Chains A and B, each alone.
Chain A
Amino acid sequence: MSVAKQKLCHLLLDEVFGSRVAKVGRHLAKWEKCFLADLYQLDQPHECLGVLINHGLVTYGRDPRPTPGVQYEISLDQVIQTIRYPRYLYLIKALHGDNAELILEEVLRRGQETLPKIMEKSLNRIELDENLAKTHKQDLEKTFQTLVKEHFLQRAPHVGTNPEVPGSTVPILDETTRFHVPESIESCSSIYWCLNVDRFHVEFRNKILVSTVTRRIDETAGKLMEFILSLSGKKLEASSRHISITEIYANINKCIDLKLRQYKDHYLKVLEEDRTRFIDRVGDEGGGTYVVNFKHIFTVLGSAVVENVVQEKFNSKALRIFRVVRDKLYVEESQIQKLVMIPARETKLMTYQLLENNFIQVQELRKSLSANVVAKSFYLFHVDLNQVARMVQEMCYMSLSNAIIRKNHELQINARLLEKQDRIDSITSNINASEEFVSEEERTQQLEEVQDMLSPAEHDLVKQIRRCGDKLHSSLAQVDETLLVLELFLKL
Chain B
Amino acid sequence: MAAVASKSDQGPAKIKVEANELAERILALCAEIPQGVNDKVLQASMPEVDPKSRALAINHLLTNGKIDLLQSERGLLYKARTSTSQVGTIKGDAEEKLVYKIIEEAQNKGTWIRDIRIKSNLVQTQLNKALKSLKSKKLIKDVKCVNSTRKIVYMLYHLEPDSSVTGGAWYSDQDFESEFVEILNQQCYRYLYQKLEKSRECTSGPLMAKNISQASSKEVLQYISELGISKIQLRPEDIEAILDTLIFDGKVEKTLALAEGEETRLYRAVESLIPVTGLMRMPCGGCPVIKECSDVGSVNPIKCSYMKEWLS
A contact set with B: CB distance below 8 Å: 212, 215-218, 220-221, 262-263, 266-267, 269-270, 275-276, 300-301, 304-305, 307-309, 312-313, 316, 319-320, 323-324, 327, 339-344, 346, 392, 395-396, 398-399, 401-403, 405-406, 409, 464, 467-468, 471-472, 475, 477-483, 485
Contact = CB atoms under 8 A, between A and B. Distances in A.
Contacts of B282: 399, 403, 475, 478-479
A346 B179 CA distance: 13
Contact of B277 (A218, A405, A406, A481): A481
B207 A339 contact: no
Interface string B277-307: 1111110111000100101000011101001
5 contacts: A266-B206, A319-B250, A320-B249, A399-B285, A479-B285
B274 A399 contact: no
A305 B241 contact: no
B274 A304 contact: yes
Contacts of A406: 301-302, 304, 307, 311
A313 B206 contact: no
B68 interface: no
Nearest to B253: A275
- Of B185, B275, B279, B280, chain A has the most CB atoms within 10 Å of the CB of B279
Contacts of B185: 341
A395 B285 contact: yes
B302 A320 contact: no
Given A217-B206, A270-B207, A482-B278, A319 B249 contact: yes
Contacts of A396: 279
B304 to A, nearest CB: 8
**Chain B at the A interface: SS class:** helix
A340 B248 contact: yes
Listed from nearest, the 4 A-B pairs whose CB atoms lie closest are A478-B278, A399-B284, A402-B301, A263-B205
Nearest to B274: A304
**Chain A at the B interface: SS class:** helix
A310 B250 CA distance: 12
A323 B250 contact: yes
Given A266-B207, A313-B280, A216 B273 contact: yes
A428 B143 CA distance: 85
Given A316-B249, A320-B249, A218 B200 contact: yes
Given A218-B206, A304-B273, A324 B279 contact: no
- Of B245, B278, B310, chain A has the most CB atoms within 10 Å of the CB of B278
B277 A305 contact: yes
A341 B284 contact: no
Nearest to A406: B301
B280 to A, nearest CB: 4
Given A477-B278, A485-B274, 10 more contacts: A270-B206, A305-B274, A313-B286, A320-B245, A343-B176, A346-B178, A395-B285, A399-B284, A471-B311, A482-B278
Nearest to B246: A320
Nearest to B249: A320
A468 to B, nearest CB: 5
B272 interface: yes
B270 to A, nearest CB: 7
Nearest to A402: B301
A481 B254 CA distance: 30
B248 A324 contact: yes
Contacts of B301: 401-403, 405-406, 409
A401 B282 CA distance: 12
A312 B249 contact: no
A267 B278 CA distance: 30
B256 interface: no
Given A339-B244, A399-B285, A267 B280 contact: no
A471 B270 CA distance: 31
A308 B205 contact: no
B170 interface: yes
B277 A215 contact: no
Nearest to B208: A266
A309 B273 contact: no
Contacts of A275: 253, 270
A464 to B, nearest CB: 8
Contacts of A468: 311
Nearest to A300: B273
Contacts of B52: none
B242 interface: yes
Contacts of B280: 308-309, 312-313
Contacts of B274: 212, 215, 301, 304-305, 308, 485
